[in-house]
Amino acid sequence: MSKFLKNKTLVMPDGTAMDGNPAEFLEGKFVAYYYSASWCGPCQRFTPQLAAKYAELKAAGHSFEVVLISSDRSRESAQAYHRKMPWPMLEFGQTPGCILEVPGYPTLVVFDPNGKPIGDFEGNTVVMSVPFDQWPNYEQIKKEKEKALATEWDALPAELSHPKHAHPLKKTAKMYGGTSGWNCDVCRGSGGSCRGYQCSRCGWDAHPACVGATPVAAPPATAAPGAAAEASKQPEGAASVTTDA
Ligand SMILES: [Zn+2]
Ligand SMILES: [Zn+2]
């Protein structure tokens, strides 16, 4: 951790330089670098939420610190914004020794006490939504969640029909190439993820749940193993030819 703020200065919300060495202050702690700016509306809304979370984590005795990396355009506006926060700021005009650019504001970039990044640019989610004791396993938890979602998706039928629409609907992993938003024709809600069911004739589309998509049942476990294997291989044709050679 210390390497990122080597030879840097941390400033307190009252504008005075922090006593002592920033590296020592951050030693052994999870540190969230808070990329934020007073000119950014979402930042202004997020800062009080982060301050509340900060107080909660501190009260629970967790080794956690936030450091504001200001993207304000002047020292004066950076300091005025910083006064609304309970954590230190990297001296205006100095850059951290690691990430210089973030995809947008506000962004938290979290590091564990050994300087290993947690969730790259997903620090807002890590800090605000993940219990502190699970932070070290964030990447693994995320992977498992994604895997479970993929398994769930794979089990849905490739095609189905629904009383609200006359044509068959096809399972589509990337609606509109995944490039544009879409709205569900059943609930009118946002498509959210890129996955849905779509009519290839007229573009009618819907969330899987909104057209009642449920996982296709696996072959019954009680069937003879040979028969079950043969049945599941039927659509693939050549795959079932194994004993002719
Ligand atoms: Zn829907
Ligand atoms: Zn249609």
pLDDT in tens, 224-240: 444 444 444 444 433 33
Give the integer Cα–Cα distance in Å for 15 and 83: 8
Residues 22, 6 contacting (CB under 8 angstroms): no
State the pLDDT at residue 180: 64
Q: How far is the CA of 155 from the centre of ligand 1 (A)?
A: 19
> What's the confidence (pLDDT) of residue 244?
39
Distance 172 CA to ligand 2 centre (A): 14
Strand, coil or helix: what is 68?
strand
Q: Which ligand is nearest to the CA of 191?
A: 1
- Residue 28: both structure tokens together: 């052994």
CA distances from 190 to 12, 165, 202 (A): 43, 19, 19
Rounded to the nearest angstrom, the distance between the alpha carbon of 6 and the centre of ligand 1 is 51
User: 183-202, pLDDT tens digit by residue?
Assistant: 999 999 888 767 899 999 99
Name the pairing type of β-strands 30-36 and 64-70. Answer: parallel
Residue 144 CB burial class (10 angstroms; 0-12, 13-18, ≥19): exposed
Spell out which residues have Cβ within 5 A of ligand 2, the ion.
167, 199, 201-202, 204
From ligand 2's centre to the CA of 138, what distance in Å? Answer: 41
| Single pTM value for the model | 0.69
End-to-end CA distance of the chain: 62
Ramachandran area for residue 182 (φ above 0: left; ψ -120 to 50: alpha; else beta)? beta
Instruction: Dump pLDDT digits (tens) for 72-115.
Output: 999 999 999 999 999 999 999 998 877 678 889 999 999 999 99
**Domains and their CATH numbers in the chain:** 2-141 (3.40.30.10), 153-211 (3.30.60)
